Structure 1
Amino acid sequence: MPFETENDPNRLPHLIRRAQVVLWDFDGPICRLFAGHSAERVAGDLVSWVEGRGLHGLLTDTERESLDPQVVLRAVDRRHPGSDLVAELEERLTQEELRAASSAWPTEYADPLIRTWTAVGSRLAITTNNSPRVVRKYLASRGLLDCFAPHIYGRTQELRLLKPDPHCLNRALSAMGAAPEDALMIGDTTPDLRAAERAGVPFLGYARNEHKAKTLRDAGAETVLVSLQPLLERLRAQAGPPGAGGAPGRV
């Protein structure tokens, strides 16, 4: 099933029509960042680095065994916010993400969808918990940087402001002069959904498999795509044939 809605079968075209500004999460909707560079190994290396500094008791067993390097980073920040330890750990994660960007897998249909949305006049931004340096590297490698720049809002030293906090979404909206109701957030995790809710931005879920789709639906996402293809087709259909006119950003 290409997409599902809880109640309203017209919700997807409605979301597209309203989207003057589209806020994209990065890892998931645009690419699989760690497809060729194990996130599990990266998380393990971060744990080993922390413990190598004599801080074995800093992490809980659950955090130590996490497959997500961001879990490790945020756990350390909760106990030592703003410290040199956190700054160095964040930089180590950024370097791993930069290496991963070279072997990231593009999400199917993401590239043409990004170019089509740009062509019809909507403005695009990245709102991610990954490093903005990583996002720029990946987008440049795909010839997509101009579709987003300068609106790339990623991880900063203030880790408490990562999603589900809406900070990066609010930064994007403010910089682009956009009202929340005229934007659309595309994300693949519950923190993406919660950040969009807190920012007042309509949310479109993307999930690369049914298990992830169920997680988003159970969290309250009303529209979840398991492929970006129907979104691309709907966008092209609503844009109309070349030269048909229409207001930019109201596709």
Structure 2
Amino acid sequence: MTREQADAQDAPAGADAFAEVRRRLARVRCVLFDFDGPICRLFPDGASRPVADELRDLVDASGAGHLLGAAERADTDPHLVLRAVHRARCAEGRPGSSSLARLLRVLEERVTAGGLAAAERAAAHPQWHTPSVDALIRTLADRGVRMAVVTDNSPLAAEAHLGRRGLLEYFATAQGRHPDDPGLMKPDPDVLVRALDAVGVAPEDAVMIGDTDADVRAAARAGVPFVGYGRDARTVRALRRARADLVVTSYPPLADGAWDR
């Protein structure tokens, strides 16, 4: 047993949490899935660092390295680099033809390419599939529940991954990072609002399944009930600190299809 599996077993979800999530899912018309975590491990064990390093190199080569602070220099998340350049672009108040605007477009292209490559790798490696998510997706579809992806990654990555796994047909839409405005990534509710509009469902008729503090806050701001997915004890603790009222550590109790509306 791996340390992560042991942590997940030790993390208390509770039968009551599963029962309440089942009741909540039985009432909704739509489930919004975050992608990285609730559906797959897109960048396991810091695998996003090469993408983040590439972005840092591009920023330095453009002469804008001073825009990156200690966090942007050290973190494995390339989105932090995107956000830093975007903030500077907004602060300069210049047209879209500025050097920072051009740099931001290049960075967006590289993050998208990195996400696509990661999605293909994750689809080809079963150990990076979130256990039983395929069964949960098919159970929801059988019950007439519509589904959407709401992710800070590119929607192309989500579509590629789901397509490789034979799951894309179950999703009404995949909404991702706004290519022209990375400032709208979660906890901004933009991606959830776009998904709800695409599906034609009111916030109160949906549930979001996510695994980060930003997911919790985005769902709250969009008015969408939230269910936390914690694959290990660390994620469960973070979700509870973010005041997620329902957290589950596995999908099988939700995917068996033996629950009633």
* Change beyond 3 A, Cα 1:40–1:137: same
- 1:246 matched to which residue of 2? none
- 2:139 matched to which residue of 1? 116
Separation in 2, partners of 1:120, 1:103: 30
Does the aligned pair in 2 maintain the 1:35–1:103 contact within 8 Å? no
Counterpart among 149, 153, 163 of residue 175 in structure 2: 153
- 2:28 matched to which residue of 1? 19
- 2:250 matched to which residue of 1? 227
Does the aligned pair in 1 maintain the 2:18–2:254 contact within 8 Å? no
Q: Which moved more, 1:156-165 or 1:193-202?
A: 156-165
State the shift of 1:37 in Å: 8.2
State the shift of 1:175 in Å: 2.2
- 1:247 matched to which residue of 2? none
- 1:71 matched to which residue of 2? 80
State the shift of 1:16 in Å: 1.3
- 1:34 matched to which residue of 2? 43
1:90 aligns with 2:108: yes
State the shift of 1:10 in Å: 4.6
- 2:150 matched to which residue of 1? 127
Q: Which string of whole-angstrom CA distances, capped at 9 and with x for unpartnered residues, describes residues 142-200 of structure 1? A: 01111114x11111222121111111111121222212111000001111110100111
Q: Which string of whole-angstrom CA distances, capped at 9 and with x for unpartnered residues, describes residues 206-228 of structure 1? A: 11100111000011001111112
Per residue, is there more helix in 1 or in 2?
2
Q: Which moved more, 1:51-60 or 1:80-89?
A: 80-89
Does the aligned pair in 1 maintain the 2:18–2:248 contact within 8 Å? no
* Matched residue count: 237
Q: What's the TM-score, normalizing by structure 2?
A: 0.85
Q: Which moved more, 1:180-189 or 1:98-107?
A: 98-107
Secondary structure at the counterpart of residue 33 of structure 1: coil
Secondary structure at the counterpart of residue 121 of structure 2: coil
Separation in 2, partners of 1:14, 1:117: 13
Moved over 2 A (4+): 1-5, 7-11
Does the aligned pair in 2 maintain the 1:165–1:195 contact within 8 Å? yes
Separation in 1, partners of 2:145, 2:76: 36
Does the aligned pair in 2 maintain the 1:101–1:138 contact within 8 Å? yes
Secondary structure at the counterpart of residue 80 of structure 1: helix
Q: Which runs of 5+ in 1 are unaligned?
A: 240-250
Q: How does 1:96-245 map to 2 (within 5 A)?
A: 96-104=114-122, 105-149=128-172, 151-156=173-178, 157-233=180-256, 236-239=257-260
Identical pairs, percent: 45
Separation in 2, partners of 1:97, 1:10: 35
Separation in 2, partners of 1:231, 1:131: 27
Q: What's the TM-score, normalizing by structure 1?
A: 0.88
Does the aligned pair in 1 maintain the 2:18–2:253 contact within 8 Å? no
1:53 aligns with 2:62: yes
The amino acid of 1:191's aligned partner reads A
The amino acid of 1:69's aligned partner reads P
